[in-house]
Structure 1
């Protein structure tokens, strides 16, 4: 990157908000990933104890299968790969599982960064994660790794790392959000980090919510009410409540957030939510709508598929989605080149006991 680009990034870092700016922003938190402004009430929901161990495993397994199926739906089939091909949207979930097995729920951001350096090849990262990795190599520590010359800090990277914290905290969106924020803090700030909180909470809520609408309502309580992300999601929920057709809702998202990069988290979070709302709990419809909506297709369909898979359960996901996976996941994570998806679900389920 040339000197002009560095100077531009430094100018952006020192920029201030416009007078009268209406939204809650990262600067309002003092850099604390768990400050979200005014406390918000979370709607009541069923507790995971309503499920037998076998039923809870089926939901966890459904999340893993749904994420894998959604991730590959928009990718051409690689005839040389048996099962689910490697993708960063899956690498990070596997890394998160390893982190929880190794460090437990008391992990700190330094544990995440150490795991990246140990098990994640640099050239298998992108955008905010690659900048954070570069900053780690240059001697920075979290949270400075997220802020130093990182123009991608509100892109979708932390969101796609969040599902594992929902899988391991079924029915507890607040706890899932807290863990996801710790992970996110090494590479993201503001709406990028809040989107990770939201995604983890959404996955956790799916275990106990009656429908996607309830899960989305619970998830929205873990992000600042007046953040740009929360406002965008609320507008989308209003569109659904008022009966707007899916295609018009998606057109509205693309129009309202066209000024952002296609990988910015706000528009993509809205496309995930749209797939869940208009998919109405049907696995196939949810994944297909999310994939058709565009922008970061494989990331969005992976998250939507994960949540739809939890609602559906592994046993009820149509075979057309699971058979091509052949219970096999490829990854770039050191030590896990090829893994059985069912084994990942078993290891995740074991963390719940």
Structure 2
């Protein structure tokens, strides 16, 4: 996921919205998605409110008449948006509470026992697949620069299209291309153990939380672990906003909503996989427990993203195909939400026989107005990668990364699911062998974790070690 020190271009809104609504002035237009900067908070809250059915035109006009260096005045505008009422023509129903989410579902997906003979291999493949998938996407993780066209142009110049390995390095680097600063550790021929990434930190932390709290896990426990184990600037977007709120003494549910315009972005979705690992074949149990993690920092589609990812991973242990796992996991998402609409849309595109390229164009047209680190558009390309990957780990991962947006987060999720579906035998040696069974981590006390050890600890929980209370 995005380190917030990067400056990125403003997310484009649909043309009909842009033409009808006033826009923020230049002083607000370049956002680094940083919860520590009032101008970022205002810029991104305006986008969040517009995307979720609120009229913020008057706020935009006030902001344009306000000195952007006046911190208190800018923050007052951010806080003032909490009193706005949603437009009457809003067509979606997106509850936040777990009971309300449960009540919105047509039926809870039924659980089934994962085959014990495969479980050890599947859990190991899940961790390897996720970590390798994250590293494949890391060098091109900046959606404002690494668009679909830009990624394809680069890979074709390198003779590496379609992507079927780590991203290669061109030397000299052509003008107009810039790999992320992690490239010396994440590109073809340069991987020597997994690089550090929050898409890896959060699964490690989830494992630790489940070992500690089991099914008694609550948002307060998650917040306490963040502030004890994570450096502030190694968490991003919604997680950074929530972290600031925790240190200022706020408690859930206010932690997720106060000055947090990223509350429906992808940060929670990347935290869901381990909940699926420890409930193999029981997608609702995985989703319901992952809610306790997601609700600390997210609302609405942000919460659904983590619940869906947890259910998707869980369903993969017993599904016969990616499509089956996706369909089952969709059952934990409120059916009248934007996330359910997007996932259902991609499933229909696949059923209609479109090529992956044609489907990707439809996805970009329908959901490209969201930030490149939003839940909804990134979930759509995860679904597309898995469907058009047709059961092949590398094909699914390659298509996902070539889709742009949050490439390392999406590569990690697809890598996890495709790893489970195909087992360790389906993982390309060229991706997993350079990991050397080791991953870096920013979590205090967890750096240089052995991947095989993470898998063994996860398996212990999945096979009966998940308690109903804190470990003694």
For normalisation by structure 2, the TM-score amounts to 0.71
Does residue 23 (structure 1) correspond to residue 82 (structure 2)? The answer is no
**Alpha-carbon contact 2:273-2:309 (below 8 Å) kept:** yes
The structure whose Rg is larger is: 2
Match of 1:290 in 2: 400
Aligned counterpart, 2:126: 63
Deviations 1:98-157 (A, max 9, x none): 001111121111111111111111111110000000000000011210000100000000
1:67–1:34 Cα change, 3 Å: farther
CA deviation after TM superposition for structure 1 residue 232, in Å: 1.0
The structure showing larger relative contact order (alpha-carbon pairs under 8 Å, at least 6 residues apart) is 1
Pairing of 1:118-133 with structure 2 (within 5 A): 118-133=228-243
Q: In 2, are the aligned partners of 1:40 and 1:222 still within 8 Å (CA)?
A: no
Instruction: Give a deviation string over 1:285-324, Cα, whole Å, max 9, x none.
Output: 0100000000000000100000000001123312011111
Alignment of 1:1-353 (within 5 A): 1=38, 2-25=71-94, 29=95, 31-36=96-101, 37-41=103-107, 46-48=112-114, 50-52=115-117, 55-74=118-137, 75=139, 76-78=183-185, 82-352=192-462, 353=464
Gaps of 5+ in 1: none
Normalising by structure 1, what TM-score? Answer: 0.94
Q: Which moved more, 1:315-324 or 1:134-143?
A: 315-324
Unpaired runs of at least 5, structure 2: 1-37, 39-70, 140-182, 465-472
State the superposition RMSD in angstroms. 1.6
Question: Does structure 2 conserve the Cα–Cα contact (< 8 Å) formed by 1:191 and 1:229?
Answer: yes
What is the deviation of 1:45?
Answer: 7.0
CA distance in 2, matches of 1:77, 1:69: 15
Distance in 2 (CA, whole Å) between partners of 1:43 and 1:336 is: 34
More helix by share: 1
CA contact (8 A) 1:42 1:218 kept: no
Q: Aligned equivalents of 1:326 and 1:104: distance in 2?
A: 30
Count of aligned pairs: 346
Q: In the alignment, is the contact (CA less than 8 A) between 1:33 and 1:193 conserved in 2? A: no
For residues 122 and 172 of structure 1, the distance between their equivalents in structure 2, rounded to whole angstroms, comes to 34
Secondary structure of the residue that 1:40 maps to in structure 2? coil
268-277 or 73-82: which moved more?
A: 73-82
